[in-house]
Structure 1
Amino acid sequence: MIKKIPIYGMLLAACFGCQTQKQVSGSKSETAQEAPQKKKGDLKSYTEVITPEAKSDEGLFTTHMVGEKLYFEIPLDLLEKDMLLVSRIAGVPAGFGGGYINAGSKMNEQVVRWYKRGDHIDMKVISFENQSEEDSPIYQSVVANNFFPILFSSKVVAYTDDKKAAVIEASDLFEEEIAAINGVNPRLKKEYKIKKLDKSRSYIESAHAYPKNIEVKHVMTYEAEEPPERDQAGTITMLMNQSMILLPEEKMQPRLADDRVGWFSVKKLDYSSDELKSDEYEIIRRWKLVPKDIEAYKRGELVEPVKPIVYYLDPATPKKWRPYFKQGIEDWNKAFEKAGFKNAIVAKDPPTKEEDPEFSPEDVRYSVVRYVASTTRNAMGPSVIDPRTGEIIESDIIWYHNHLRSYRNRFMIEAGAQNPAARTLMTPESEIGEMMRMVIAHEVGHALGLPHNMKASSAYPTDSLRSPEFTQKYGLTPSIMDYARVNYVAQPGDEGVRYIRMMGPYDLYAINWGYRYLPEAESPRDEKKTLDSWILAKAGDPIYEFGSGYGGYDPQSQRESLGRDQVKASEYGLANLKKVVPNLIEWTSTDGDGYDDLEEVYRELTYMWRGYVNHVITNVGGVYETRKTADQDGVVYTAVPEEKQKKAVKFLNEHAFSTPDWLLDQEILDRIEFAGAIERVQKLQDQAVTRLLEEDRLNRMIENQQVNGEKAYTVLEMLDDVRKGIFEELYQSKKVDAYRRNLQRSYVDAAASYVQALEEKKNGNITKSDLVALMRGELEQLKRDISRRKNRVSDQLTQYHWNDLLARIEAATDLES
């Protein structure tokens, strides 16, 4: 067969102003075999440049710090070798990126090669997205339209005595503002009004060399008119880490992605395809696992891989947590056994200096679970991949210390009503340890190539989560890659129920699909028939379905949702919250301390309530997605049944739009704030109304009515049901309290915004749809109802409120009184 080779494309739009040198067509680049021709006065001797004061480190390149200058000693036999340049933030100012960008955040990843051009060494950016067969006529066009941009260029200042390596000064690569490797994107530059990089306060902090990678840390200081924190004195300073990693000489065979099984992937374009277009496809990201004994593997025996996946614990990891971290890593061996491997993934304590004097978490040969002393409440599972093949080269799991706080609080909020162990801020080690174990397992799943599978939880009947036998055997969802952290469905009295997520059958299935070695397949296309057969064998079984959770239209694919019936699950969850609130003062109070913990837990509890409400809203105008290919029977998209949508609106009227007296515990409020409860509830309810009446949802309902007719839950029916719920006081001649007045104003404002879009000639999609007519009609109906009924209640503030709503409607629609 004809071998496909990568053709290289512009990765960063000419690298944002990096100088590009013209290359003569057909000219041969200089290699290690070409002896450098020294011209008098052009070069210095090695010792003139690399003086005895140099701080040198040998590795992939030898790095030299001479004073404040950084030199790279680049072996000529490494020229034109593929290397991965990974840019990460190593230190970040408070509040940067709204708090969503943390130390360890990856900012860019690109393949580079070093080339010799006369007396210069150039670093060029390479892309492997565009491909063509080398002997195809279109190959020349792909080459011409995907020219290598030069990211950095430096003059050779010396050669080693044996003439096998060139020395260049690399300082400018890290001290100049090169958009391709810095930590401030154009959006943040605009937000913080960054003027320029201050070179006097930007410098290289360290450079280290390892056998397969180079690590450079450098400080970048920007002048900024509006930095994220006021006390930053008009500057933003961050520490960047640049990793340059040698990619494998022997390439792993890629595996084609399939969106019916969730995998992180790399996009490719094949211009020599027989298709009448460029053939777009994706390959999955995975570690290279090859059985030691292929014949035994073929016989179905479990076989160890030639090179297992090894994770070391960070030396900073507290010793009491280490067993849980190691369990979370090695839990994946169960899944790898489904793929035919034993001992495929190994967790190790950090080696001592005596055991391995060269050990460093920065060394790409070591994957490390890093324990970060930070107030960030998160954990991450990033990995470094070879974009040519999708091979994962290295991975560092990041656990931020304060993530313990997140799980402590969530356990109390969602399990406190049912589980005595959750009724304290000092969560018992057995419970918090199990949570940490499963967080690490979740992040390792990402590092193995698996994305979130938010659809997994909908595979289990909701009431099964109240069964001890079921939950202890199957967990809370079929996949640990779902967001399903605590069993909030379980009720008081459900003894023996599992509360913490765990690995499930989908995880074993996905790992087998992605990692099983297929020795007979000589190309990715050769594997496809086998891979498809595994998917088809599970088709129709919700346990093995995948959904990313993006899009916001599929109620079966949502973050933090549990069970197949989101309305029932939210009812269970809400019932538990109502039992937790009266106990929060007792559970969070410590003698001699204030009420900070009470305030934090109470605030997060309100977010849980909002989450349950959002899970229900998604059913209204919702669409189920079941990923299929053309050879499978049935459709991909199906509207949520009418009865389920009506049930969702009934829940909203009863639990989201009613005044949450259960939440407004005066004993709590009087300890944490002097005011704010009304505004807080207003924001939560306003958000619920806005989400319910959002444009995409209403348009889906209109389309569903057009397609399914009487079987559909129509927009008119929904608006009628919601209006009667939100304006219950109007129709039952009751006084309206402050919370409900705010809610009713939110409803009128949300409906009026559609009509105002027409008046202001904004949002062409809205003005050309049925939505303006619908909302105008809704406001007219509401106006008639208020006009007829407003005087039936003697409460003066309620009367003022109805008159105010009439004025708002008239102002929005230009209707006459």
Structure 2
Amino acid sequence: MKYVLLLVFALSLQMGLAQDKNTKDLDSILETMPKSEGLITTFFEDDKLYFKFPEEILEKDLLMVTRLKQLPANYSAYRNAGSKTSEQMIHFVKVGKSIDLVQVLTTNVADEDDPISLSVAQNNLNPILASFPIKSEEGEDFVIEVSSFFNADSPSFNIIPDGLKSEYKIGKADDKRSRINSVKSFPENTEITHTLTFPTSNPPRGNSTNTFTFQINHSIIALPEDKMQVRYEDSRVGWFGLRKYNYSSEALKADEERLIRRWRLEPKDEKAYARGKLTEPKQPIVYYLDPATPEKWRKYFIQGIEDWNSAFEKAGFKNAIQARVAPTKKEDPDFSPEDVRYSTVRYVASTTRNAVGPSVSDPRTGEIIESDIIWYHNHLRSYRNRYLLETGAANPKARTLDTPEEEIGEMMRRVISHEVGHALGLPHNMKASSAYDVEQLRSGSFTQEMGIAATIMDYARYNYVAQPGDKNIRFVRKLGPYDDYAIEWGYRYFPNSSPEQDKDILKSFVDKRSTDPMYMFGGRGNDPNAQTEDIGDNSVKASTYGLSNLKIVAKNLDSWTTSEGEDFDNLEELYGEMLGVYRRYIYHVVSMVGGVHETLLHKGQEGIPYQAVDKTKQQDALEFISDNVWTPQYWLVDEALVSKFAESGKLESLISINKGVLNRLTIAKRLNRMWDTHSTLPGNGLSPQELLDALVKDILTSRTTPDQVERELQKHLVHQLIELEKDKDLALELKGHSLSLQNELLSNFKTKMNTNTKVLKAHYGYMMKMLEEALDD
């Protein structure tokens, strides 16, 4: 027994000496490696990366944000340098001789002193993302090697979505062509940049290497220990938010709480703020312009960012948001757009026509920590084209593809304002464009003061209503009264109050305003007053003005887009987009048919939350559609225009648009909704039977000598009626009405067969055969 004990002791001593030797060996290795001290002290050289951190970092609330820094050409339209792929709260947790990297889930919560918190923890086990053996332990400091973690395609990074992996047939990351590039640590964050290379057997066009290489940046940031006070959502004010389920609530359920996402703005001088004086915040919101931003556009980007200061003044803050040009490497070698300490406006060389405004926030409180506005270069093309098509009739400055710099700059400014609005916490508010009377949009004094919609957060880009001869018109959107209202609601500072007290104060603020169209919020849904790309409170009137203008543009499109000696490529591009503008104006009116007005109300406010669009307005919409769709719009396919770039006519395009409108009106989902709302909602709405009767009359029975475009539409309506009767989802009452209409049409077509025109006789004969075969089934 003594021998065994001595052997065990000897082995233990040997293992201890080996461990000491390994520790000393590691210490000597770390002494020679480049070191970066900060939140996490890092040692990095030759693709080897070690983390050293004190015990106080263990179980500290950290946020890990993963972004693309560089990516392959033609990879994805909406993934670019700066795109965020992952954002997660993490803890480093010591478990025995290892450190686990754990993702911390924050949706389900309970008070720590409430017994139910034990159950919340047991039923919401945090996933372990990685586990690292402790290489060295010196007092309260721990050393782990993380090289393999950052050299792998960890699922938690979400670098390549599953859809793109499948589309491009992307394999596993190639270790030999992947590496860690750089590591920097700062007092509040640690930055790791690495490269991953993947083989792909189905790359996009132009990629002959069958290879995708990405450079990725990870930011590990310490979340504030002094948590920002939360603010509860009010559904009547549009705001991005976080959803929590509070199991300690006194409600007889897990109470759902919605917190808004906002920046932490606190006044430097609380006493002056309390007296109503404009006060600078302790920490303003600062955006840095990407050095890649062309110099001529920078002033417009700065204006677009700082436009929001007028709204913040309503909340009591001055100079709350600032724009700066990013420092050069010489001025600040540590500055990095991927560093979450800096909010940036990124200028991306891409053919994508868009801009976006994402942000990073504290998942515990909703505090926005940073954001990156992304402007795609080719968005200039979209705005140039739409400016010409939608305002050219009344706006001489738009009648060219060489749009004046100040005009393009103004459009860019307003796009940046829109995206900054998202980064401040505001979602789209499509309801706001219906706050203004259509006729007000033809007034120079009104549009210059109020813009063309009550918020910059609507998709109300251009004033397509103003007519030739209207004076001093504003054609481009800008911030409006809703923006002031929303920012005041979200950012007004209340000292020495609780979130519950804030909620009561702000409820009164909203109660007094939310039924005023100027301050209404609404998503899209089935409300014709909450559509994208429309302006004004009456879609029929606005689209009538819009089409009047578009006809003028169509007549001048060649001269406005093509110079002597040029080919007609630009004309063809603009023509295709012109058809899209026409379709958009029509669809604005289509939405009125079967539409339901939504008003976001809380109990005690006057009004009706849901109300069917009045029948007379729906009938006006159908009359507009009859005049501007069912009656062929040959001005859209004028041979003098189309023959310059198309070897065949564009009748198919016109017919396709007409069929698309008819499909929207006769889809079972819409008809069922009309059948339901006609019976259950207040308001004298149109019944689906009345809609089908009107379509049959306008398209089929009232047109005695239909031309080729009308004949195609007639056949399609017959087809739709047959398909509706077969549709298993359509209400039985409506199936019966469809069957009745088919029988009536069969009789009507038999009468029309007496025509002397061979084309029409064949046409009616064909539709009779369609109906007979359907009725015999």
Equivalent position of 2:105 in the other structure: 127
Correspondence 1:638 to 2:616: no
Letter in 2 for 1:367: S
Equivalent position of 1:731 in the other structure: 702
Q: Tell me the alpha carbon deviations over residues 40-90 of structure 1, each in whole angstroms, 9 at most, x when there is no partner.
A: 5664633554474x5654443344443234433344432211122223344
Correspondence 1:312 to 2:288: yes
**Deviation for aligned residue 1:420:** 0.7
Q: Tell me the alpha carbon deviations over residues 228-268 of structure 1, each in whole angstroms, 9 at most, x when there is no partner.
A: 54856655554443332221111000000111001100001
Equivalent position of 1:451 in the other structure: 427
Equivalent position of 1:786 in the other structure: 749
Q: Is the 8 A contact 2:611 2:683 kept in 1?
A: no
Distance 1:675 1:175, change over 3 A: farther
Q: Tell me the alpha carbon deviations over residues 3-41 of structure 1, each in whole angstroms, 9 at most, x when there is no partner.
A: xxxxxxxxxxxxxxxxxxxxxxxxxxxxxxxxx999356
Equivalent position of 2:370 in the other structure: 394
Distance 1:223 1:464, change over 3 A: same
Which of 86, 94, 118 pairs up with 2:65? 86
| Inter-partner Cα distance in structure 2 for 1:195 and 1:753 | 45
Correspondence 1:494 to 2:464: no
Distance 1:444 1:767, change over 3 A: closer
Distance 1:710 1:206, change over 3 A: closer
Letter in 1 for 2:608: V
Letter in 1 for 2:543: S
Correspondence 1:599 to 2:576: no
Q: Tell me the alpha carbon deviations over residues 422-465 of structure 1, each in whole angstroms, 9 at most, x when there is no partner.
A: 01111112211111111111111111111111100101101100
**Deviation for aligned residue 1:802:** 3.0
Correspondence 1:773 to 2:736: yes
| Inter-partner Cα distance in structure 2 for 1:206 and 1:564 | 55
Moved more, 163-172 or 279-288: 163-172
Distance 1:708 1:406, change over 3 A: closer
Correspondence 1:752 to 2:722: yes
Moved more, 679-688 or 441-450: 679-688
| Inter-partner Cα distance in structure 1 for 2:764 and 2:553 | 36
| Inter-partner Cα distance in structure 2 for 1:584 and 1:326 | 34
Task: Output the aligned Cα RMSD.
Answer: 2.6
Which of 102, 117, 120 pairs up with 1:139? 117
Moved more, 207-216 or 126-135: 207-216
**Deviation for aligned residue 1:349:** 2.3
Q: Is the 8 A contact 1:174 1:204 kept in 2?
A: yes
Equivalent position of 1:588 in the other structure: 561
| Inter-partner Cα distance in structure 2 for 1:650 and 1:104 | 49
Distance 1:518 1:592, change over 3 A: same
Distance 1:317 1:747, change over 3 A: same
Aligned sequence identity (%):
48
Equivalent position of 1:72 in the other structure: 51
- Secondary structure at the aligned position of 1:662 is classed as helix
Correspondence 1:696 to 2:669: yes
Distance 1:188 1:172, change over 3 A: same
**Deviation for aligned residue 1:478:** 0.9
- Secondary structure at the aligned position of 1:711 is classed as coil
Equivalent position of 2:501 in the other structure: 526
Distance 1:417 1:133, change over 3 A: same
**Deviation for aligned residue 1:524:** 1.2
Correspondence 1:439 to 2:419: no
Q: Is the 8 A contact 1:372 1:401 kept in 2?
A: yes
**Deviation for aligned residue 1:96:** 4.5
Note the residue ranges of structure 2 that are not aligned, 5 or more in a row. 1-15
| Inter-partner Cα distance in structure 2 for 1:427 and 1:411 | 9
Correspondence 1:39 to 2:12: no
Q: Tell me the alpha carbon deviations over residues 281-321 of structure 1, each in whole angstroms, 9 at most, x when there is no partner.
A: 10111100111111111111111111111112222222221
Distance 1:685 1:58, change over 3 A: farther
| Inter-partner Cα distance in structure 2 for 1:750 and 1:214 | 61
- Secondary structure at the aligned position of 2:604 is classed as coil
**Deviation for aligned residue 1:324:** 1.3
Q: Is the 8 A contact 2:50 2:146 kept in 1?
A: yes
Letter in 1 for 2:707: V
| Inter-partner Cα distance in structure 1 for 2:174 and 2:737 | 56
- Within a 5 Å distance, the mapping from 1:408-557 to structure 2 comes to 408-521=384-497, 523-549=498-524, 551=525, 553-557=526-530
| Inter-partner Cα distance in structure 2 for 1:510 and 1:178 | 40
- Secondary structure at the aligned position of 1:395 is classed as strand
Q: Tell me the alpha carbon deviations over residues 349-401 of structure 1, each in whole angstroms, 9 at most, x when there is no partner.
A: 22345543432222222211122222221111111100111101011111122
| Inter-partner Cα distance in structure 1 for 2:211 and 2:177 | 10
Distance 1:313 1:225, change over 3 A: closer
Q: Is the 8 A contact 2:362 2:369 kept in 1?
A: yes
| Inter-partner Cα distance in structure 2 for 1:325 and 1:258 | 31
Q: Is the 8 A contact 2:286 2:321 kept in 1?
A: yes
Q: Tell me the alpha carbon deviations over residues 396-424 of structure 1, each in whole angstroms, 9 at most, x when there is no partner.
A: 11112221111111110101111110011
- Secondary structure at the aligned position of 2:573 is classed as helix
Distance 1:510 1:44, change over 3 A: same
Letter in 2 for 1:548: G
- Secondary structure at the aligned position of 1:690 is classed as helix
Q: Tell me the alpha carbon deviations over residues 172-211 of structure 1, each in whole angstroms, 9 at most, x when there is no partner.
A: 3334343221233334444455565554554444444344
- Secondary structure at the aligned position of 1:260 is classed as coil
Equivalent position of 2:770 in the other structure: 808
- Secondary structure at the aligned position of 1:348 is classed as strand
**Deviation for aligned residue 1:777:** 3.1
Q: Tell me the alpha carbon deviations over residues 140-174 of structure 1, each in whole angstroms, 9 at most, x when there is no partner.
A: 11111011110111223345xx6564333323333
**Deviation for aligned residue 1:670:** 2.1
Distance 1:504 1:773, change over 3 A: same
Letter in 1 for 2:710: R
Please list every run of at least 4 consecutive aligned residues from structure 1 whose deviation after the TM superposition is greater than 6 angstroms. Answer: none
| Inter-partner Cα distance in structure 2 for 1:230 and 1:46 | 47
Letter in 1 for 2:716: S
**Deviation for aligned residue 1:130:** 0.9
| Inter-partner Cα distance in structure 2 for 1:65 and 1:770 | 73
With normalisation by structure 2, the TM-score equals: 0.92
Moved more, 314-323 or 207-216: 207-216
Moved more, 627-636 or 84-93: 84-93
Q: Is the 8 A contact 2:261 2:366 kept in 1?
A: yes
Letter in 1 for 2:668: E
| Inter-partner Cα distance in structure 1 for 2:79 and 2:767 | 43
Size of the alignment, in residue pairs? Answer: 762
Q: Is the 8 A contact 2:90 2:104 kept in 1?
A: yes
| Inter-partner Cα distance in structure 2 for 1:41 and 1:814 | 92
Letter in 1 for 2:260: I
Q: Tell me the alpha carbon deviations over residues 474-515 of structure 1, each in whole angstroms, 9 at most, x when there is no partner.
A: 110110111111100001000111101111111001000000
Distance 1:652 1:71, change over 3 A: farther
Q: Tell me the alpha carbon deviations over residues 556-599 of structure 1, each in whole angstroms, 9 at most, x when there is no partner.
A: 00111100001111111111111001211111114444222222
**Deviation for aligned residue 1:813:** 4.5
| Inter-partner Cα distance in structure 1 for 2:60 and 2:375 | 34
Which of 641, 646, 668 pairs up with 2:641? 668
| Inter-partner Cα distance in structure 2 for 1:203 and 1:799 | 74
Which of 291, 295, 301 pairs up with 2:271? 295
Distance 1:567 1:219, change over 3 A: farther
| Inter-partner Cα distance in structure 1 for 2:591 and 2:196 | 44
Distance 1:734 1:364, change over 3 A: same
Letter in 2 for 1:71: Y
With normalisation by structure 1, the TM-score equals: 0.88
Correspondence 1:108 to 2:103: no
Correspondence 1:609 to 2:582: yes
| Inter-partner Cα distance in structure 2 for 1:413 and 1:37 | 80
| Inter-partner Cα distance in structure 2 for 1:771 and 1:436 | 49
- Secondary structure at the aligned position of 1:45 is classed as helix
| Inter-partner Cα distance in structure 2 for 1:793 and 1:486 | 50
Q: Is the 8 A contact 2:643 2:649 kept in 1?
A: no
Q: Is the 8 A contact 2:312 2:484 kept in 1?
A: yes
Letter in 2 for 1:387: P
**Deviation for aligned residue 1:548:** 2.2
Correspondence 1:364 to 2:343: no
Which of 115, 119, 129 pairs up with 1:151? 129
